Amino acid sequence: MKIGLLNGGGDCPGLNAVTHGVVGTATRLGWEVIGFKEGFEGLLEPVNYKLLKVEKTEGILKLGGTILGTTNRGHFSSKVGAGGVRRIPKELMDEAIKNLGDLGVEALVCVGGDGTLTTALEFEEAGFPVVGVPKTIDNDLGATAMTFGFDSATQVVVDSLDRLHTTAESHQRVMVLEVMGRHAGWIALYGGIGGGASAILIPEIPFDVKKVADSIIERGKRGFRSALVVVAEGAVPRGGELTIEAAPEQGEVRLGGIGMRVAAELSELTGKETRCTTLGHLQRGGSPTSLDRVLATRFGVKAVKLIEEKRYGRMVSYQQYHVGSVTIREAVRKLNLVDPEGEIVEAAKSIGVCFGD
Ligand code: F6P
């Protein structure tokens, strides 16, 4: 059997570990794996691919980024604006499916987030067998308890907060850290708790900056000389709007800038010196954590098993410490967002973290 493999959307630590898992498993079954470059774009003329042999994937498990390349723009972008979806034109689908057929590829493993899986579903609906692997640092895909890449991104946030803490203490400052996550607050929530932030602002809980300022003033009265505030890029002030850095002609809007706004307002309201750091793509770069390496490997292995069992149209899913699968349709139906009343937010509040609500 010959199978195809591609990555779509933003890169994320662990993509190469999936490739390693897919190629290792497929090779042991006597199959060939064709890796398409730069996501679905690699399926178009001139078809851009490489044959992935185990010798070529030796040692890539621990590498960040992706040896195949990826894109979150281009002809197959299914996500537009702030949460909109578009269908892929039929002639493009026909061309891609013909090229797959010409190469003798019988099934395609699509590794990606919400957008990539939405496009993968269109291939399935057009009659080409696909299986999906969930990937995103944002951890915002429904139907899987965790995506690989999230732990690595969160670790960067925690490391950054540890560093900000020592300088914040020295200067008695408020340090605001803006983190990624798009419309989900998982990175901010886990990173903030793990890094000891005193306030965490997430998209799921609209915030009142005065409440955050009051909590910092209150901390000061109890003898704390500094404060760490984590702000998710998609956090929204109560009654306000998303802060958008850019609205490109193609693809989704780029979020960014809310950290600076919050820092300026906190400085005014608390009278304390405040600085803002925007972590940006540092969260996506570098080697995956051990947890992400193992999760991504298991996902890659499971994707090949699904093809072996001809269970197409399904996405690998992590539930209760077990790697199983769900339909891709079910997976893209709903985003996985933080529950504002849930146990994790409750735990953070119990140790005094302010959410601005
Ligand atoms: O979806 C992953 C993510 O890193 C988001 O957290 C962030 O909003 C976005 O991608 C950034 O995309 P780009 O790399 O295109 O700027």
* Assigned token pair, 49: 């691919």
Same domain flag for 140 and 245: no
Domain harbouring 191, CATH code: 3.40.50.460
Same domain flag for 312 and 324: yes
Same domain flag for 272 and 294: no
Ligand 1 atom closest to residue 181's alpha carbon, by position in its atom list = 6
Same domain flag for 169 and 277: yes
Compute the distance between CA of residue 114 and CA of residue 149 in angstroms, rounded to an integer.
14
Q: What is the pLDDT of residue 81?
A: 58
Same domain flag for 279 and 315: no
Same domain flag for 143 and 11: yes
Compute how many other C-beta atoms are within 10 angstroms of the C-beta atom of residue 269: 16
Contact between 128 and 312 under an 8 Å Cβ cutoff? The reply is no
CA count, 13 A, side-chain hemisphere, 62: 3
Same domain flag for 61 and 98: yes
Q: Is 339 a catalytic residue?
A: no
| Number of structural domains in the chain | 2
Answer yes or no: is 339 within a domain.
Answer: no
Answer yes or no: is 355 within a domain.
Answer: no
Q: How far is the CA of 180 from the centre of ligand 1 (A)?
A: 7
Q: What is the pLDDT of residue 333?
A: 85
Identify the residue whose C-alpha is closest to ligand 1 atom 13.
Answer: 10
Same domain flag for 121 and 160: no
Compute how many other C-beta atoms are within 10 angstroms of the C-beta atom of residue 326: 18
Residue appearing with tokens 């540890």: 162
Q: What is the pLDDT of residue 21?
A: 98
Same domain flag for 174 and 208: yes
Q: What is the pLDDT of residue 247?
A: 82
Contact between 288 and 296 under an 8 Å Cβ cutoff? The reply is yes
Which of 114, 137, 233 best tests ligand 1's pocket when mutated (most atoms within 8 Å of CB)?
137
Pick from 278, 198, 268: nearest CA to 232: 278
312: domain range? 2-148+288-331
Q: What is the pLDDT of residue 74?
A: 86
Q: Which of 11, 138, 140, 151 is catalytic?
A: 138
Same domain flag for 66 and 181: no
Same domain flag for 224 and 111: no
- Output the ligand 1 site: residues, CB below 6 A: 10, 72, 113, 136-138, 180-182, 233, 254-255, 284
CA dihedral 86, 91, 93, 95 (to 10 degrees): -150
Same domain flag for 257 and 322: no
* Amino acid (1-letter code) at residue 303: A
Compute mean pLDDT per 10 residues along the chain, 357 residues long, and list them. 96 98 98 97 96 95 97 81 76 96 98 93 96 96 94 98 98 98 97 98 98 97 96 98 86 91 98 98 98 98 98 97 96 92 98 98
